[in-house]
Amino acid sequence: MPTVFYIGATGYIGGAVLVDLIKAFPNLEITAIVRNPDHFEAIRGLGVQVVQGAFSDVDLITSRAREADITVNAGDSDDVGLNTAILAGQKARVVEDNKPPAVLLHTSGVAVFMDGGNEGKHDPNNKAWNDGDEADIRAITPQMLHGQVDAPILQASEAGYTESYIICPAAIVGPPTGPVPAGSYFIKFMTQLVLAFKKALYIGEGSNVFYTVQLDDVVDLYRRASPYSRYYIGVSTPHSWKHIMTVFGKLEDGAAQSVSISVIPPPASLFLGASQNARGERAKALGWEPRPVVLEDWAEEGITSALAKLQ
């Protein structure tokens, strides 16, 4: 069986994907990099070998990625140093070791396709990014959010140094299923944002769109990834920021207010001012059928969990 180097085993997405991967392929030889010794037992309990280290341990990351047949990065979609180390190891495997390219399964995010707006307005006539159109994926640049990692992966894959598969999910909700309890980053982000301002705020008319998807549907998309196509946009339900803020406004007085973008500091302003327009045709061609996301169904439990972690 192939050897796997796993990054992100203790995270919300990574933990869920790891559990599913082991169920589907119980004989895989998996080694996970884990920083906190308190989590070693939980990971080893899945039959996974553990090597202690951090994402900043460049030599360790490079050597492990060079040795493994498959590297899974479900740990950080924006860490340029981590990604550079992975690609360096996989390139050395091909160029110096004369081995076939290893697989890289990487987690990105649909925020790469934000339109850069700052007025809180959605224009349905703006470009709709589509994973089924190769030209759209080739148009991803390092200047785009997450693009500083996605673009080099795509380039390394085209050069023949890696066989990459990029899963690009929307904001994820749903109960954690990994070996170490970890909550939705989106729920945590929204909770902190509303608490910080003591108010739920949106920009302008608040019609700008932000996509969501359920965690187990994202796991299902990982399972369906196929060699004939390499970049998969995983989106389910678009929500206006006005609606999102109305849901999370229950943290305070329940009201959501429109403000100028000047009131919202970065990085939150990057999300609250812009809109998304994305299509997951390639993912759906694989039979992927995500369920709709009703934020009200997930927000209360997720907020409670996020608040507990913030205390």
In a domain, 123, yes or no: no
Q: What is the pLDDT of residue 299?
A: 77
Q: What domain count does the chain have? A: 2
For residues 51 and 85, membership in a common domain is answered with yes
Q: What is the pLDDT of residue 8?
A: 97
In a domain, 124, yes or no: no
8-state DSSP, 113: G
For residues 194 and 59, membership in a common domain is answered with no
For residues 159 and 178, membership in a common domain is answered with no
Residue 108, phi then psi, degrees to nearest 5: -110, -145
For residues 181 and 230, membership in a common domain is answered with no
Q: What is the pLDDT of residue 226?
A: 55
Q: What is the pLDDT of residue 228?
A: 38
For residues 106 and 133, membership in a common domain is answered with yes
Residue-by-residue DSSP string for 14-52: HHHHHHHHHHH-TT-EEEEEES-GGGHHHHHTTT-EEEE
For residues 80 and 225, membership in a common domain is answered with yes
The CATH number of whichever domain residue 166 belongs to comes to 3.40.50.720
Please report which helix (H) or strand (E) contains residue 271, including its range.
helix 268-273
In a domain, 120, yes or no: no
* 3 state DSSP class of 228: coil
For residues 43 and 179, membership in a common domain is answered with no
Domain span at residue 92 reads 3-114+129-172+216-234
For residues 295 and 200, membership in a common domain is answered with yes
In a domain, 59, yes or no: yes
Q: What is the pLDDT of residue 27?
A: 87
For residues 284 and 300, membership in a common domain is answered with yes
Q: What is the pLDDT of residue 229?
A: 52
For residues 299 and 269, membership in a common domain is answered with yes
Q: What is the pLDDT of residue 227?
A: 44
Q: Which residues, given as ranges, of the chain have pLDDT below 50?
A: 227-228
In a domain, 67, yes or no: yes
For residues 143 and 220, membership in a common domain is answered with yes
* 3 state DSSP class of 72: strand
For residues 229 and 306, membership in a common domain is answered with no
| Residue position matching structure tokens 């900043």 | 56
β pairing state of 29-34 and 102-107: unpaired
Residue 261 CB-half CA count within 13 A: 19
In a domain, 256, yes or no: yes
Q: Which sign does the torsion angle of CA 129, 126, 79, 311 carry?
A: negative
